[in-house]
Structure 1
Amino acid sequence: MALSDPIADFLTRVRNASSAERRYVDICWSKMKEKLAEILKEQGFVENYLVKKENDKRGTIRIFLKYDSRKPVIRGLKRVSKPGLRRYVKHEDIPNFFGGYGVAIVSTSQGVMVGNEATKRRIGGELLCMIW
């Protein structure tokens, strides 16, 4: 089955597994999803992730979720730019929320990165999602 919004599917699977207190979640592989998993690990929202590729186009990402005293570290995920309504922001308009505890993920001309890094590099792009 073809997905119209694979990033929203990624976020929904992580959100559902986190609320169900699962140890890990398996997601179909793509370069974008692998980069999102890498950002989640760098920012401390997940413990680790593994990529198992069957070939160059197919594979699976296993994301190991992180918990703090039996409560999920990920409190919320929100898809901002959607296929029906893309949201592009300048570097000065990238949101900073929850006193810096929240992370905005931006797809720029130099790759997918965290909003703080995009602001430092002074580049804008498509605001993919926000995680807190």
Structure 2
Amino acid sequence: MSYTYIIKSINNITNAQKVKKKKINLLYSNFLLKILTKLKEKKYIKDVIIKKKNITVYLKYNNMRRPLLNKFIFISKPSLRIYKKIKELKIIKMRNQECIITTNRGLLDINEAIELKTGGELLFFFY
């Protein structure tokens, strides 16, 4: 699947959280599944369940019933890929921003990329 499908799926998740849905179904994609498992590891979503060609995402809210994922800011786009070196990633981390990065070692969050001392394509920030 294309990168634009990933962008649309992430936007569907944020829209579902705005209307307080408990779960959302998305079409299966390996890349999307890796992104969702990273978000699950960071405890921004409850669970990810795979059924045939669908991925069911159970959304997570705080005590006041507000979504934990408020906003995604996409950096790399299909027409313009943005790559960052390890020094630039450390500056981003000092700003306390969460982001997902694709590297030659796979899909990593900013802490894992700095720990492994590797840069890569900056996909998006989220908070």
TM-score (norm 2): 0.90
* 2:103 aligned residue (105, 108, 111): 108
What is residue 23 of structure 2 aligned with on the other side?
Answer: 24
- SS of the equivalent of 1:27 reads strand
Q: How far does residue 123 in structure 1 lie from its aligned partner after superposition?
A: 0.5
**Identity across the alignment (%):** 27
What is residue 54 of structure 2 aligned with on the other side?
Answer: 60
What is residue 13 of structure 2 aligned with on the other side?
Answer: 14
For structure 2, the residue ranges without an aligned partner over 5 or more in a row are none
**Paired residues, number:** 124
What is residue 93 of structure 2 aligned with on the other side?
Answer: 96
What is residue 69 of structure 2 aligned with on the other side?
Answer: 74
Q: How far does residue 3 in structure 1 lie from its aligned partner after superposition?
A: 5.6
What is residue 43 of structure 2 aligned with on the other side?
Answer: 44
**Equivalent-residue separation in structure 1 for 2:38 and 2:4 (angstroms):** 19
- SS of the equivalent of 1:62 reads strand
**Equivalent-residue separation in structure 2 for 1:91 and 1:7 (angstroms):** 25
Q: How far does residue 96 in structure 1 lie from its aligned partner after superposition?
A: 2.3
Q: How far does residue 80 in structure 1 lie from its aligned partner after superposition?
A: 1.0
TM-score (norm 1): 0.87
Query: What is the aligned-residue RMSD (CA, Å)?
Result: 1.6
- SS of the equivalent of 1:71 reads coil
**Equivalent-residue separation in structure 1 for 2:2 and 2:15 (angstroms):** 18
**Equivalent-residue separation in structure 2 for 1:80 and 1:7 (angstroms):** 13
**Equivalent-residue separation in structure 2 for 1:65 and 1:48 (angstroms):** 7
